[in-house]
Amino acid sequence: MKIAVIGTGYVGLVTGTCLAETGNDVICVDIVEEKVNKMKNGELPIYEPGLDVLFDRNIEQNRLKFTTNLAEAIEDAQIIFLALPTPPGGDGRADLSYVLGAAKDIASLVKDYKVVVTKSTVPVGTADKVKAVFKENTLVEVDVVSNPEFLREGVAVDDFMKPDRVVVGTRSENAKKLMEELYAPYVRSGNPIIFMDERSSELTKYAANSFLATKITFMNEVANLCELVGADVDMVRKGVGSDDRIGKRFLFPGIGYGGSCFPKDVQALALSSEEYNYDFRILKAVMDVNQSQKLKIVEKMMNYYKGDVKGKKFALWGLAFKPETDDIREAPALYIIDELIKAGAEIVAYDPEGMENVRKLKGDALAFADNQYQALEGADALIIATEWQVFRNPDFKQMEEKLKAKVVFDGRNLYDLHRMIDLGFYYNSIGRAEVN
Ligand code: NAD
């Protein structure tokens, strides 16, 4: 099939590349010329494990192309994917200007029937709005389909190639048939393509993300309580998660959820519910708890240093909002950095992939190290904000040598408490006893 993908961020580029992988002809469009030139030169603009192999192969086979020219991209396309940003607008609601703007541009260019698919996460009713844009701007028949994306950064290629499910919202038989053909290679193992109406499909994505955010937040509250009552959240997590109805995944407590999706999607669902006079109370609590959880480590540090971190130097391991990505949007580390700098502390950070993006955002407000051990030199303590694998089994001897004091504040519970006791580190993690 001939496909156009508008927007080449984490979702668009993975979608385009993975669709090319099964033999489709894909043209990806972006408005950022520098990004498009990079991709034309065979360079990936984002870090996503495993994407490079597919990217190189499909460019080489001429199935994956890049352009800034929308007209050229959509001319022959049967299906046009919109993988555009839907960031929170000034009022916190999803900003639909990218999606609706692109729809208008496409409408002014289409010459024959197209299926336009919204992959962006959008509020209920957006498909109707996109349809209205086409109706107003062209006489050509266009079907608008909702096809939310469930990929996770860090394992996006696998998620796209072998999705748990594909959700397609459409009432058009023609669009349904095309989408079924397109996705058939990805669901060979029997996972479903679930067809539904557009509104149900749009709400499925928000409900899924909000549920996951709620699950993490619930566990974060359990962890906070563990600290007060003297329980160990690791044990509670195992005890709770072995119930099939609950499941083991997504129960790890930490310093709050971040990223480009959960914060904005939870907020957008809460706010869009208000438009229907529905008070989605649980989501308000989730946002509230998450806000304070992001600063849990700072709270712990302030207790330890009796409210005064002025002039202290801290090593920070982890900047990305989660491991295996360079995405720092809404990363808890950024909140920790801001608070500590405001309190007069100095920070030297290390992250395997996220440093470039933080440097662009924060300039020289903090320093960056070449490796995880260099960050520790002369530091009063180590803070861990992202659970990268390389931090899980570090050289504790080197840590001890480089740190000024053997103090670790761990927002991701990477180390065994007994090990830290044996090694003689002061170790403060989430939902577990403070040791040494
Ligand atoms: P992103 O910011 O990484 O990428 C968006 C891209 O669109 C950018 O490259 C930008 O330059 C480009 N763009 C903006 N306006 C354009 C235009 N008019 N024409 C062409 N390109 C344009 O965003 P993302 O993380 O890929 O997310 C896209 C959507 O998918 C959002 O709605 C998001 O909520 C949703 N989503 C994201 C994830 C994720 O893990 N990142 C997962 C599922 C769903």
Q: pLDDT by residue (tens digit) across 72-128?
A: 999 999 999 999 999 999 999 999 999 999 999 999 999 999 999 999 999 999 999
Distance 111 CA to ligand 1 centre (A): 26
User: Ligand 1: which residue has its CA nearest to atom 29?
Assistant: 120
Confidence (pLDDT) at 320: 97
Whole-number average pLDDT of the chain: 97
Nearest atom of ligand 1 to the alpha carbon of 11: 26
Average pLDDT over residues 348-368: 97
Nearest atom of ligand 1 to the alpha carbon of 261: 34
Check the annotation: does 250 bind a ligand: yes
Strand (E) or helix (H) holding 348: strand 346-350
For 262, other C-beta atoms within 10 Å of its C-beta total 23
Pocket lining for ligand 1, CB < 6 angstroms: 6-12, 29-32, 35, 83-86, 98, 101-102, 120-121, 149, 151, 153, 260-261
DSSP line for 204-265: HHHHHHHHHHHHHHHHHHHHHHHHHHT--HHHHHHHHHTSTTT-STT----S---SSSHHHH
Confidence (pLDDT) at 153: 95
pLDDT tier, 167 (very low <50, low <70, confident <90, very high otherwise): very high
Check the annotation: does 253 bind a ligand: yes
Tokens describing residue 263: 């914060």
CA-CA distance, 58 to 15, in Å (whole number)?
13
Confidence (pLDDT) at 265: 97
Check the annotation: does 92 bind a ligand: no
Nearest atom of ligand 1 to the alpha carbon of 121: 32
Domains and CATH numbers, the chain: 2-195 (3.40.50.720), 205-292 (1.10.1040.10), 294-428 (3.40.50.720)
Distance 163 CA to ligand 1 centre (A): 19
Give ∠ CA 93-96-100 in degrees, rounded to 5: 160
Interface TM-score (ipTM) > 0.90: yes
Nearest atom of ligand 1 to the alpha carbon of 8: 9
The string of pLDDT tens digits covering residues 235-246 is 999 999 999 999
* Token pair 């957008």: residue: 268
Confidence (pLDDT) at 433: 97
CA-CA distance, 139 to 141, in Å (whole number)?
6
| Best probe residue, ligand 1, of 118, 261, 330 (max atoms within 8 Å of C-beta) | 261
Average pLDDT over residues 155-177: 98
Which of 290, 331, 264 has its CA nearest to residue 122? Answer: 264
Which of 155, 150, 80, 81 has its CA nearest to residue 110? Answer: 80
Which one of 18, 28, 226, 261 is the catalytic residue? Answer: 261
Check the annotation: does 35 bind a ligand: yes
Check the annotation: does 254 bind a ligand: yes
18 is catalytic: no
Q: Are 319 and 351 in contact (CB under 8 A)?
A: yes
The string of pLDDT tens digits covering residues 18-77 is 999 999 999 999 999 999 999 999 999 999 999 999 999 999 999 999 999 999 999 999
CA-CA distance, 107 to 120, in Å (whole number)?
18
Distance 241 CA to ligand 1 centre (A): 33
Confidence (pLDDT) at 110: 97
Confidence (pLDDT) at 207: 98
Average pLDDT over residues 347-359: 98
Q: What percent of the chain has pLDDT over 70?
A: 100
User: Ligand 1: which residue has its CA nearest to atom 3?
Assistant: 9
pLDDT tier, 339 (very low <50, low <70, confident <90, very high otherwise): very high
The string of pLDDT tens digits covering residues 229-279 is 999 999 999 999 999 999 999 999 999 999 999 999 999 999 999 999 999
| Best probe residue, ligand 1, of 35, 67, 72, 84 (max atoms within 8 Å of C-beta) | 84
Distance 315 CA to ligand 1 centre (A): 32
| Long-range Cβ contacts of 418-424 (<8 Å, 24+ apart) | 423/396
Confidence (pLDDT) at 279: 98
Average pLDDT over residues 276-304: 98
Average pLDDT over residues 407-436: 97
Distance 340 CA to ligand 1 centre (A): 31
Q: Which pTM does this prediction carry?
A: 0.96
pLDDT tier, 341 (very low <50, low <70, confident <90, very high otherwise): very high
pLDDT tier, 310 (very low <50, low <70, confident <90, very high otherwise): very high
Confidence (pLDDT) at 233: 98
CA-CA distance, 105 to 103, in Å (whole number)?
5
| Best probe residue, ligand 1, of 30, 133, 257, 266 (max atoms within 8 Å of C-beta) | 30
User: Ligand 1: which residue has its CA nearest to atom 18?
Assistant: 102
